[in-house]
Chains A and B, each alone.
Chain A
Amino acid sequence: MTIRTAFEIALLVLSLTLPLMFATLGFLKLSREWRSRRYDQLVEETRPLVMAALDAPTSIDLSGRHGAAAETIAASLLPQLRGADRDNLANLLEQGGMLPQARQGLRSRRAARRQRSAELLGAAGNRRAAAGLAKMLDDRDGEVRQTAARALGRIGDPLSVPPLLDALDRKRVSAHTVSMALLRIGSAGAGELTIALASDSPRVRAVAADTTGALGLIAAVPTLEDLLTDENHTTRISAVRALGRLGVPTATPTLIRRLQHELVVPSLTFDDDYARALITSLGQIGERSAIPVLEQSLMRSYRLSSAAADALSEMGARRAQHSNHESLDSEDRRTSDSVPSEMSGETRDGVASTVAQSRTPQGNNLS
């Protein structure tokens, strides 16, 4: 066979197979579109049934052909609902067999299936899935682990706090995801969070401190005060911020002592972020006894002095609000009047000027 003949045969085969290949691809595409349209149609048919079932969950059977469509609708609706409608929808999914299936799906070999199941169970607030989801915090797939942590937060079972903190310690789930989950669980997990403040892991201590502050767990104040001298920088700052958020006046003397200590330490070991956090928290708590140390901070670097000016300004503004003062219309008047009135005239003018400068975008370049 000559080369020319072989080439002609190859061309012939190609000319026959190419149209066949295109026809197959076209058929597959059409078939996919048709299935998708049919599914959309099924979702449209199922939607009114799901809505009706929200008011009378036992009256409608959503198993069978409507089951998958109902699951799609529920997965979209559940995260946006609260109250009785959310509970009814979750009950509907339980009765329809979708939630039991999702609990089984947590053990699926496919990561996408495990993740979808975790999302649905979390959105439904399914407590029966909490143990299974806690195991998934060790899943081999990172996305699945994050989804499981979020789902545990949505379910809100306080028993999930220790596994979440453990996953955080072992860096299986991000600090942000764990924090959000703990916030969703809320004060029901207060006991575990207070214990976590004394954890051996600095990551756990820091997240526990942030969360206790955000949740307003005042009982944690003495432990947070102890964390002000923690060996870990992030934990120290988290503790300071938590105390500021909690706003408990009894924490003021400890915060003042820490700030005074920071202001006298040699410049090489000086922790600027920590000092600024202390200043901000003292401003948030708003005790007058903090004014001298805040005034002292005004004489330091620009970053510290502007933080101190903001803190003093916040204290003044809050007291002005308490006294039902008239609202002030000019920026200059607001600035000068928001400074605490017990300050000496010179300091008072200085603070007002620093506040005004810190509100100017290029305030530190004006000199």
Chain B
Amino acid sequence: MSRILIADDDRDICELVSFKLAALGHHVIVEHDGEGALAAARTESPDLIVLDWMMPRLTGLEVCVALQADPALARIPVILLTARAQDADIQRGFNAGANDYIVKPFSPRVLASRVHAMLARVSH
């Protein structure tokens, strides 16, 4: 069982993603803003983070940069889940340290597959 942190200010999306991942046997931690996500990353030691970009207090991108700057957290893989679909946004996301990028509208099933693939890659 992996620990997955989901941070999105949209409660319906959080509920949906956590429902899908919990059904697959993961332990899910939910936050609704960037500061909460960063704090949870420090206290909960997640194996993977699913981050929205546009969040109150700290954006997902700022959280990515803060994670990269902290040697204890830099190893945690991050999937950005966002409605920002421009090429430049995707580049910015990866430059900030995201390991994967999923554009909304999205398929929760595909997200779950990517989470699995990412976790498998990290565990090897």
Contacts and interface: CB of A to CB of B under 8 A. Distances in A.
Contacts, number: 47
Interface in B87-124: 104-110
A73 B14 CA distance: 12
B12 interface: yes
Nearest to B81: A80
Interface string A76-99: 110111111110000000000000
Contact of B109 (A51, A73, A84): A84
B104 A80 contact: yes
Residue of B10, B16, B19, B110 most packed against chain A (CB within 10 A): B16
Main secondary structure of the interface of B (DSSP, over half): helix
A55 B105 CA distance: 18
Interface of A: 47-48, 51-52, 54-55, 73, 76-77, 79-86
Contacts of B83: 80
A82 B105 contact: yes
A47 B107 contact: no
B23 A77 contact: no
Interface of B: 10-13, 15-16, 19-20, 23, 83, 104-110
Contact of A51 (B10, B19, B105): B19
Contacts of A55: 23
Contact of A83 (B10, B16, B19, B110): B110
Contacts of B107: 81-86
A199 B16 CA distance: 46
Nearest to B16: A51
Nearest to B17: A51
23 contacts: A47-B11, A47-B12, A48-B15, A48-B19, A51-B16, A54-B16, A54-B19, A54-B108, A73-B12, A77-B16, A79-B105, A80-B10, A80-B83, A80-B104, A81-B16, A81-B105, A81-B106, A81-B107, A81-B108, A82-B105, A82-B106, A83-B109, A83-B110
Given A47-B12, A51-B16, A73-B12, A80 B23 contact: no
Nearest to B107: A83
Contacts of A47: 11-12, 15
A85 B12 contact: no
A77 B12 contact: yes
A76 B13 CA distance: 9
Q: Is the interface of A mostly helix, strand, loop or mixed?
A: helix
A294 B10 CA distance: 51
A84 B16 CA distance: 14
A86 B106 CA distance: 9
B109 A77 contact: no
A55 B23 CA distance: 10
B54 to A, nearest CB: 12
Rank and list the top 4 A-B pairs by shortest CB-CB distance, nearest first: A83-B107, A51-B19, A82-B105, A80-B104
Nearest to B13: A80
A85 B15 CA distance: 14
B15 A51 contact: yes
B106 A80 contact: yes
A55 B19 CA distance: 10
A70 B23 CA distance: 21
Contacts of A82: 105-107
Nearest to A51: B19
